[in-house]
Homo-oligomer: A and B are copies of this chain.
């Protein structure tokens, strides 16, 4: 099991081979076995295969080709709608349209997502998470007709791999692990943590291509710029409010 997790790399090119229904069901069954808050299962999994709906989802994901090319697109949503409907139908005074329930539901949704991805990989499938889900949530809400109380957290594209991507780099383990309490980073600890990544020739190339002085500038000023992050933050908060969750 651990060996398979250690070999994970995101797959962005898929064969056209469809995923058998029985395999997909087993994968999603593995998903819902994840721990969740109070066993309320405050999530929903939307399985999109139709070309037409994938077409509607694509702009929200900046038209990344995986959306249209993957046989299956899973949109994993935090969902207090179903539970609230149940409570209302049973004359129970429900209060789940708030930030505590939203954050708990987001956490539970992610645990389901990761179980699904590991189960999929153990079936020889490849997966890719689309972080764009939280950039343009309103477009996804519209495309998938999400009612109030439902919020898209992440998207997973899935299919049989048509590429074998290399393992991506990571910070040394001791740069992300803290013993007992948080040990805040000294300037020297930061240098050590990022040293290997900064000296990776592929990343050096990345700096030159982007006309920057170093890798941190590529991340902070090009790929994930402050102005973009702030723009997407506004869109995100508006969409959360509009779904009644704040």
Contact = CB atoms under 8 A, between A and B. Distances in A.
Contacts of A18: none
Nearest to A103: B134
Interface string A202-244: 0000000000011111011101111101101100110000000
B221 A50 contact: no
A35 B53 contact: no
Question: For chain A, which range describes its interface: under 10, 10 to 19, 20 to 34, or 35 or more residues?
Answer: 35 or more
Contacts of A43: 176
B38 A181 contact: no
A110 interface: yes
A98 B176 CA distance: 21
A32 B176 contact: yes
B41 A176 contact: yes
Contacts of A49: 180
A99 interface: yes
B230 A82 contact: no
Given A89-B191, A178-B44, A104 B131 contact: yes
Contacts of A67: none
B45 A95 contact: no
B217 A100 contact: no
Interface string A111-138: 1011101110011000111010011000
B1 A53 contact: no
Contact of A216 (B37, B90, B180, B217): B90
Given A35-B8, A103-B106, A219-B38, A47 B230 contact: no
Interface of A: 1-2, 4-8, 10, 25-30, 32-35, 37-41, 43-50, 53, 77, 79, 81-83, 85-87, 89-96, 98-101, 103-104, 106-107, 110-111, 113-115, 117-119, 122-123, 127-129, 131, 134-135, 143-147, 150, 153-154, 167-171, 173, 175-182, 184-185, 187, 190-191, 193-194, 213-217, 219-221, 223-227, 229-230, 232-233, 236-237
15 contacts: A2-B119, A5-B115, A8-B34, A35-B117, A39-B168, A47-B180, A82-B185, A85-B190, A87-B219, A93-B217, A94-B226, A95-B227, A96-B220, A104-B134, A147-B182
Given A2-B122, A40-B224, 14 more contacts: A8-B34, A33-B170, A41-B170, A47-B177, A49-B180, A79-B176, A82-B175, A90-B214, A92-B216, A93-B225, A95-B220, A100-B135, A111-B129, A145-B182
